[in-house]
């Protein structure tokens, strides 16, 4: 369904744009029909940048993104409009997605005016109520309310309901539950799982490992804009190969281990231009000279398991 092929994003920074910041570097992966793929990484790793490029909110510097075999960069006018009928995004802060001076259900009227102007008001209201019930909201309670009158979970479900009105095929879920309380998180996760069972594909952007394991079939580990490991979720979590992935896994607090045992080793190394992006933090005992000089390629080491590390030994 969706494929990223050697996608990079470079920003011009500094005085007069004299310097460059590579936010995403040569990223490739694909998402199949009815598949949930988790994009995992710490803040600043490029996760949201990838989501925005998929949604055409920012441009791709190099590489290509294909949706159902079509390069989305070539889409214009009606082609782009049809793309948004099938691909939508829901973001981290639901409150920032609404204008506080308008009622929250104005997002539904915008969809109607832009995509379904020929649908009568009565039929549209029925369609809106059905989408709200699908995401677990009571239309009689939540409609005609201002954003401040609804909780974060309700506003987030509003946005998902808005996406469902378009009969979408692909959803970019960018940290959509990080601002919700624990009792609401599981409801939203179960909603995503239910939507997946109905045919929806999802890119689940997160830094929460437990949520990723709960919902996704495949995981992509991102560090400084580079994919360092990816594959089936079980393999990534239980057969981690890259030092960064291993560090993420042992950093999860455990009752049977002291916290000090989980902390990543502090290695004093200087990052070499053109070397591995994880070189300065790598806690591997044996240091490969290639690590300081060349970026390791992402290679397949088993079925549905890829890793970018010179230190990997079968």
* Confidence band, pLDDT 50/70/90 cuts, at residue 268: very low
Task: Give the pLDDT of residue 267.
Answer: 44
With a pLDDT cut of 90, the percent of the chain lying above it is: 27
Per DSSP, the residues of the chain read -EEEEEEEEEEEESGGG-EEEEEEEEEEEEE-TT-EEEEE--TTSSHHHHHHHHTTSS--SEEEEEETTEEGGG--THHHHHHHHHEEEE-S-GGGGS-TTS-TTHHHHHHHHHH-TTS-HHHHHHHHHHHHHHTT--HHHHTT--GGGS-HHHHHHHHHHHHHTTT-SEEEEESTTTTS-HHHHHHHHHHHHHHHHTT-EEEEEES-HHHHHHH-SEEEEEETTEEEEEEEHHHHHHS--SHHHHHHHHTS--TTS-HHHHSPP----PPPTTS-TTTTT---SSPPHHHHHSPPP-EEEETTEEE--TT---
Task: Give the pLDDT of residue 67.
Answer: 93
The larger pLDDT score, comparing residue 273 to residue 291, is at 291
Task: Give the pLDDT of residue 137.
Answer: 86
| Structural domains of the chain in order of their starting residue, each with its CATH number | 2-232 (3.40.50.300), 239-314 (no CATH)
Lowest mean pLDDT among 46-50, 84-88, 192-196: 192-196
Task: Give the pLDDT of residue 60.
Answer: 93
With a pLDDT cut of 70, the percent of the chain lying above it is: 89
Tell me the average pLDDT across 86-110: 86
Q: Flag whether pLDDT at 311 surpasses 80.
A: no
Task: Give the pLDDT of residue 260.
Answer: 52
The larger pLDDT score, comparing residue 222 to residue 94, is at 222
Q: Over the stretch 163-207, which tens digit does the pLDDT of each residue have? A: 888 878 999 988 887 767 776 677 778 888 888 887 889 999 988
Q: Flag whether pLDDT at 269 surpasses 50.
A: no
Task: Give the pLDDT of residue 296.
Answer: 86
Lowest mean pLDDT among 6-10, 104-108, 267-271: 267-271
219: CB partners within 8 A, 6+ apart? 37, 38, 40, 212, 230, 231, 232, 233, 236, 237
Q: Flag whether pLDDT at 262 surpasses 60.
A: no
Tell me the average pLDDT across 73-79: 89
Mean pLDDT of the chain: 84
Task: Give the pLDDT of residue 3.
Answer: 94
> What is the Cα 60 distance to its own chain's centre?
16
Task: Give the pLDDT of residue 214.
Answer: 84
Q: Over the stretch 224-237, which tens digit does the pLDDT of each residue have? A: 999 999 999 999 99
Q: Flag whether pLDDT at 266 surpasses 50.
A: no
The rounded distance, in Å, linking the Cα atoms of 142 and 165 is: 17
Task: Give the pLDDT of residue 265.
Answer: 44
C-alpha radius of gyration, the chain, whole number: 21
Q: Flag whether pLDDT at 61 surpasses 90.
A: yes
């Amino acid at each position: 369904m969706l494929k990223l092929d050697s996608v990079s994003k470079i920003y011009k920074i500094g005085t007069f744009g004299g310097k460059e910041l590579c936010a995403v570097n040569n990223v490739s992966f694909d998402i199949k029909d009815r598949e949930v793929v988790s994009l995992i990484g710490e803040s600043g790793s490029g996760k949201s940048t990838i989501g925005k490029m998929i949604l055409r909110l920012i441009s791709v510097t190099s590489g290509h993104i294909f949706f159902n075999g079509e390069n989305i960069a070539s889409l214009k006018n009606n082609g782009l409009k049809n793309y948004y009928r099938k691909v939508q995004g829901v973001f981290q802060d639901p409150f920032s997605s609404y204008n506080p001076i308008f009622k929250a259900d104005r997002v539904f009227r915008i969809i109607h005016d832009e995509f379904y102007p020929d649908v009568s008001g009565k039929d549209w209201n029925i369609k809106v109520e059905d989408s709200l019930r699908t995401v677990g909201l009571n239309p009689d309670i939540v409609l005609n309310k201002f954003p401040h009158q609804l909780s974060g979970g309700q506003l987030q479900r509003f946005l998902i309901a808005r996406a469902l009105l378009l009969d979408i095929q692909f959803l970019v879920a960018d940290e959509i539950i990080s601002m919700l309380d624990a009792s609401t998180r599981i409801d939203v996760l179960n909603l995503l799982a239910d939507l997946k069972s109905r045919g929806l594909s999802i890119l689940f952007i997160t830094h929460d490992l437990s949520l990723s394991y709960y919902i996704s079939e495949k995981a992509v580990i991102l560090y400084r804009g580079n994919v360092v490991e990816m594959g089936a979720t079980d393999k990534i979590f239980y057969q981690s190969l890259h030092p960064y992935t291993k560090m993420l896994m042992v950093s999860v607090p455990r009752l049977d281990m002291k916290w000090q045992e989980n902390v990543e080793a502090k290695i004093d190394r200087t990052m070499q231009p053109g070397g591995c992006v994880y070189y300065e933090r790598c806690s591997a005992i044996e240091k490969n000279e290639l690590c300081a000089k060349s970026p390791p390629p992402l290679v397949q080491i088993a079925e549905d398991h890829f890793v970018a590390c010179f230190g990997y030994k079968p």
